[in-house]
């Protein structure tokens, strides 16, 4: 998956980010283990055999078809869960002595490291190494960062999405399409990755027609440490005088192939569910409706937040929720102002819109935003400007707070 591996010294360049990420995640797991033991619970069970992780395990074992019918008539179907993580769990259990749950945990750990490397690669390409390291560490210390170590699909999806976006930024269109296809088999928001691939490919094609550059890479035309529009403009190299305008036939074929591959994962699974349920192309939406998941433009979420403001102390939670949404929107706007490459903005914009405008599972929205790592680039840039001792103080304090919150969160009654 890590395409930078082909470049000499790529792993050494990313090593500080990966080591820092591993340290933060180890702290989170240690705090979770201690907290759970004090409450007489198993931290490993919380990570591997609760909530969504249990549904993935059911798909990995007997396959699709498991349903839970609730007293009110709602049907919770395993068809709501995309297949790539269960496939990997089944593969892991087939070739090792691991159980499905064990395999899911291993996949999550490995995928989280791949995701951290992918986030570093994207941020390094756009803003430089220092910002790349900071972006990974900010992603690691998010309050919901413990999910990165759970047998959930967030880490796997983020890894595939990050490397697909890196392939887009560097003009590797077939790789971008294949990774987007795999992301689409992992979570419904895989379409956000496909949209980013299409955006990058079309923009690159339009620009290359005027420059004759066949690679179409979004190159970071900057001096070391530079930021802003000049740091991450979707630039292409110029061509020699007299060179033919437009991309070569081979380059165009690779671009088109990547675009065609990108949506196949999500579209293929959704169509398969529709065929299996007899609901046609929109059958997957019927499955999600059984879970009270839908897209209402944020109306239900707004009512939920407003309802929190009607009494104390829930009003504090409501105010915190509104502040959190405001922060997400501000980070996105800041990314636009700082000139993030358009594929990153499209990707994070689609994920943010789907997370905030969905009609159900309001407590899970922070987790649903976890793959939207481009939102963190403004924070990473701000952190990168601090002196190393100050960086260590800030990250250390936030990492401890994140570990404590993650342990409290997972030991609660509801799903993350």
One DSSP character per residue, 310-346 reads TSTTHHHHHHHHHHHHHHHHHHHHHHHHTT--HHHHH
pLDDT band at 2 (very low <50, low <70, confident <90, very high): low
Residue 223's domain comprises 15-236+245-410
pLDDT band at 320 (very low <50, low <70, confident <90, very high): confident
In degrees and rounded to multiples of 5, residue 75 shows phi and psi of -120, 120
pLDDT band at 8 (very low <50, low <70, confident <90, very high): low
Alpha-carbon separation of residue 373 from 62, 74, 76, 148, 390 (angstroms): 34, 34, 30, 13, 23
Instruction: Decide if 132 contacts 123 (C-beta within 8 A).
Output: yes
Q: How many whole angstroms separate alpha carbon 358 and alpha carbon 332?
A: 18
Residue 278 within a domain:
yes
Mean pLDDT of 275-283: 92
Residue 2 within a domain:
no
Alpha-carbon separation of residue 74 from 70, 288, 407, 416 (angstroms): 5, 10, 31, 21
Residue 190 within a domain:
yes
Residue 6 within a domain:
no
Total domain count for the chain?
A: 1
Residue 267 within a domain:
yes
Q: 76 pairs with which residues across the strands?
A: 68
Q: Output the six-digit token pair for 293.
A: 């998941």
Mean pLDDT of 320-327: 90
Residue 124 within a domain:
yes
Task: Indicate the average pLDDT of the chain.
Answer: 89
Residue 9 within a domain:
no
Instruction: Decide if 182 contacts 265 (C-beta within 8 A).
Output: yes
pLDDT on residue 34: 98
Residue 4 within a domain:
no
Q: Which sign, positive or negative, has the C-alpha torsion 222, 225, 229, 232?
A: positive
Mean pLDDT of 358-371: 87
């Amino acid at each position: 998956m890590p395409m930078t591996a082909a470049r000499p010294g790529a792993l050494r360049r990313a090593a500080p980010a990966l080591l820092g990420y591993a340290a933060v995640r180890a702290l989170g797991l240690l705090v979770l283990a201690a907290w759970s033991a004090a409450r007489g619970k198993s931290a490993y069970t919380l990570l591997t055999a609760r909530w969504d992780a249990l549904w993935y395990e059911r798909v990995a074992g007997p396959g699709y078809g498991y349903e839970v019918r609730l007293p009110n008539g709602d049907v919770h179907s395993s068809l709501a869960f995309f297949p790539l993580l269960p496939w990997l769990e089944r593969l892991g259990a087939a070739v090792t002595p691991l159980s499905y749950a064990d395999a899911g945990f291993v996949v999550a750990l490995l995928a989280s490291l791949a995701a951290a490397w992918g986030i570093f690669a994207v941020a390094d390409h756009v803003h430089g190494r220092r910002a790349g390291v900071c972006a990974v560490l900010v992603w690691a210390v998010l309050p919901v960062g413990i999910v990165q170590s759970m047998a959930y699909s967030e880490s796997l999806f983020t890894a595939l999405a990050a490397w697909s976006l890196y392939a887009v930024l560097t003009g590797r269109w077939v790789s971008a399409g294949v990774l987007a296809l795999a992301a689409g088999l992992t979570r419904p928001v895989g379409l956000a990755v496909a949209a980013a691939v299409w955006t990058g490919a079309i923009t690159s094609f339009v620009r290359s027609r005027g420059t004759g550059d066949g690679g179409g890479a979004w190159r970071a035309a900057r001096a070391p440490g530079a930021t802003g529009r000049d740091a991450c403009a979707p630039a292409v190299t110029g061509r020699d005088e007299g060179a033919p305008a437009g991309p070569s036939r081979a380059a165009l074929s690779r671009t088109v192939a990547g675009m065609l591959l990108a949506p196949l994962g999500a579209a293929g699974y959704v169509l398969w569910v529709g065929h299996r349920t007899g609901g046609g192309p929109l059958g997957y939406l019927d499955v999600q409706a059984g879970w009270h998941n839908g897209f209402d433009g944020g109306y239900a979420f707004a009512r939920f937040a407003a309802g929190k403001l009607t009494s104390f102390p829930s009003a504090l939670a409501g105010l915190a929720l509104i502040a959190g949404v405001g922060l997400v929107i501000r980070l996105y706007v800041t990314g636009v102002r700082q000139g993030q490459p358009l594929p990153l903005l499209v990707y994070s914009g689609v994920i943010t819109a789907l997370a905030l405008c969905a009609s159900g599972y309001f407590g899970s929205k922070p987790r649903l935003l976890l793959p939207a790592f481009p939102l963190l680039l403004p924070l990473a840039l701000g952190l990168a400007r601090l002196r190393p001792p100050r960086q260590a103080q800030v990250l250390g304090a936030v990492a401890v707070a994140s570990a404590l919150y993650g342990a409290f969160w997972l030991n609660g009654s509801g799903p993350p």
